Amino acid sequence: MSARILDGQALAGRLREEITPQVAEFARRHGRPPGLAIVLVGQNAASEIYVRNKLKAGRDVGFRPDLERLPETASLADLLALVARLNGSAVHDGILVQSPLPKGLGGDAASRVFDAIAPEKDVDGFTPGNVGRLVQGRPTLVPCTPLGIIELLTREGIPVAGRRACIIGRSEIVGKPMALLLLQRDATVTICHSKTPDLAAVCREADILVAATGRAGLVTKAFVKPGATVVDVGMNTITDLAVAMQWFPEGHPRLARFHERGSMLVGDVHPDVADVAGALTPVPGGVGPLTIAMLMMNTLRAARARAAT
């Protein structure tokens, strides 16, 4: 069997086409486009790329996307002051503080900063009130990556109700909200993590397996029930040729590109899993583009809710 590839890039394109006229309609009605402020603190190569992609997507759908940069040397007070200014801004409907934050800000910086974002502008869905509403199944802004995965499963006609779902990873950004969204849709949900004994056997029970561990190639064929849907949230960069050759055979286009660039983006799921799975999201081109598309959806939603009050 060779798994059906679930093309997140194509779905993200369709979502952008759906949202663009709605953004234009919002701008016509309210005399301004929805505004999205993205805060980037310090220097982080991966964050630079993610933020650039988010800003471009915002521009493409017709938002006002504003980048607010703070230097590596900024204090937590500087960052909290910036968030306070954006909370009070009339033109910004969404605020996203890109993580990770510089280590120098302290271990609890991320939670202190996310806690400070106005819940109605929290397009990441990370503030405690919005998380609580999600736990209770009430309408709220929901974290973009799990929201994108639900959108993908729905539009691809992959049933969730009554199925067994297994999530590897218990992060606030992906694992926990993913579990809640699947539970709300009547899946039987297991959350696995680094201390789960016999991880492969637990995962093999799943009809829907979501891998969000940050460990390249952790999920092999032994983790996958034949015909299962496998969603790969991993974004891992490989720079070692010997490792790259464990992923793709000589002559494979991905390996040829590795030779040109000296690096390669891979997921948590080894490509051999396609021999066993029924459906599989690729990396790149799977969950990543959907996360950005859902950020656009959340920002429009936040803008509409603010305009209605």
Which residues make up the interface to ligand GUN (CB under 6 A)?
Answer: 96-99, 124, 144-145, 173
Q: What's the token pair of residue 75?
A: 């204090």
Q: What is the largest CA-CA distance in the chain?
A: 59
Catalytic, 176? Answer no
Is 239 in a helix, a strand, or coil?
A: coil
Catalytic, 136? Answer no
Beta strands in 193-235 (DSSP E): 208-211, 229-232
Q: How far apart are CA 123 and CA 147, in angstroms?
A: 12
CA atoms within a 13 Å half-sphere pointing along the CA-CB vector of 100: 10
Nearer to ligand GUN, 173 or 273 (CB): 173
Nearer to ligand GUN, 51 or 228 (CB): 51
Report the nearest approach of ligand GUN to the CB of residue 129 (Å): 17
CA angle (38, 39, 43) in 5-degree steps: 120
Report which of 111, 237, 121, 223 is spatially closest to residue 167, judged by C-alpha positions. 223
Distances in whole angstroms, Cα of residue 205 to Cα of each of 63, 138, 201, 228, 274: 43, 30, 7, 9, 17
Give me the torsion for CA of 194, 150, 34, 25, rounded to 10°. 170
Nearer to ligand GUN, 172 or 272 (CB): 172
Q: How far apart are CA 209 and CA 191, in angstroms?
A: 10
Nearer to ligand GUN, 22 or 99 (CB): 99
Report which of 209, 214, 206, 223 is spatially closest to residue 280, judged by C-alpha positions. 209
Catalytic, 124? Answer yes
The active-site residue, picked from 93, 122, 124, 232, is 124
Report the nearest approach of ligand GUN to the CB of residue 228 (Å): 25
The residue number with the shortest CB distance to ligand GUN is 99
Nearer to ligand GUN, 12 or 244 (CB): 12
| Residues β-bridged to residue 37 | 66, 95
Helices 8-30 and 287-307 pack at an angle, to 10 degrees, of 20
Report the nearest approach of ligand GUN to the CB of residue 39 (Å): 9
Q: How far apart are CA 9 and CA 309, in angstroms?
A: 34
Nearer to ligand GUN, 99 or 190 (CB): 99
| Residues known to be catalytic | 54, 98, 124
